[in-house]
Amino acid sequence: MSRNDGAEGDLELWNYFSRRSPRLRRKRAVLVYRVPLSWSGPKLPWKLLHAGLTLAAFILIVLGLVAVFEYHNKQGIANMYSLHSWLGLGAVLLFSCQWAMGFASFLLPWAPTWFRALYKPIHVFFGSAIIPLVVAACISGINEKLFFKLTSTTTPYSQLPAEAWFANILGMLILVFGLLVLFALAMPVWKRPDVNSQDTQEPLLQEDK
């Protein structure tokens, strides 16, 4: 395998990790509390599932980021020059803060109840805010790929070749998916009925007692 093949492999990894799996996992993860099955019985397993799925998404994002930085460095391409990379890194930083704050507030036992109650609406707001940021990063990434790959040596993008149809439809589907997730999060009837109950505000590690 040539050096360049390795770099292409890194880019494929980035495409897989960044554009597919974490995005879907993240959206499934934020909807965990909207599944009616989670409304009855103990909340602990659902909180652990929510934290676990978002952690899995975070690990895949980090692997994807390592792959894309390695690819850029091997190809001599500047890092972080595009709007897509700014949106993507912004989403990753926000996601990291969200996870760290969620973990420290809702999982560890030392966060006081008043703090958890204060932080919860902020957590829910930023959990939703990450979604449009991720959608924007995905769509700008797809656009970049179209501009870079569909040049004059292939059928140009402006002539709407089959690849452009595929990528445009993919972008539209990502947008619709993001809007559906935001809609599901905004619907009060799909909230867990005891959303402000005492056990929501108790740290996870105390719920077992």
**Contact positions vs ligand HEM (CB under 6 A):** 30, 33-34, 47, 50-51, 54, 95, 98-99, 102-103, 106-107, 120, 123-124, 127-128, 130, 185, 191-192, 195, 200, 204
Taking the least distance from each CB to ligand HEM, the nearer of 75 and 128 is: 128
What minimum distance in Å lies between the beta carbon of 156 and ligand HEM? 38
What minimum distance in Å lies between the beta carbon of 105 and ligand HEM? 7
Asked if 91 and 178 touch (Cβ cutoff 8 Å), the reply is no
Phi-psi region of 190 (alpha: psi -120 to 50; beta: other; left: phi over 0): alpha
83 SS3 class:
helix
What minimum distance in Å lies between the beta carbon of 153 and ligand HEM? 41
Taking the least distance from each CB to ligand HEM, the nearer of 17 and 106 is: 106
Taking the least distance from each CB to ligand HEM, the nearer of 76 and 109 is: 109
Taking the least distance from each CB to ligand HEM, the nearer of 171 and 203 is: 203
Asked if 118 and 105 touch (Cβ cutoff 8 Å), the reply is no
Burial 141-160 (b: 16+ CB within 10 A, else e): bbbebbeeebeeeeeebeee
List alpha helices for 20-161, DSSP H: 21-30, 44-75, 83-102, 113-149
What minimum distance in Å lies between the beta carbon of 172 and ligand HEM? 23
What minimum distance in Å lies between the beta carbon of 82 and ligand HEM? 24
Taking the least distance from each CB to ligand HEM, the nearer of 28 and 74 is: 28
The one-letter amino acid at 83: L
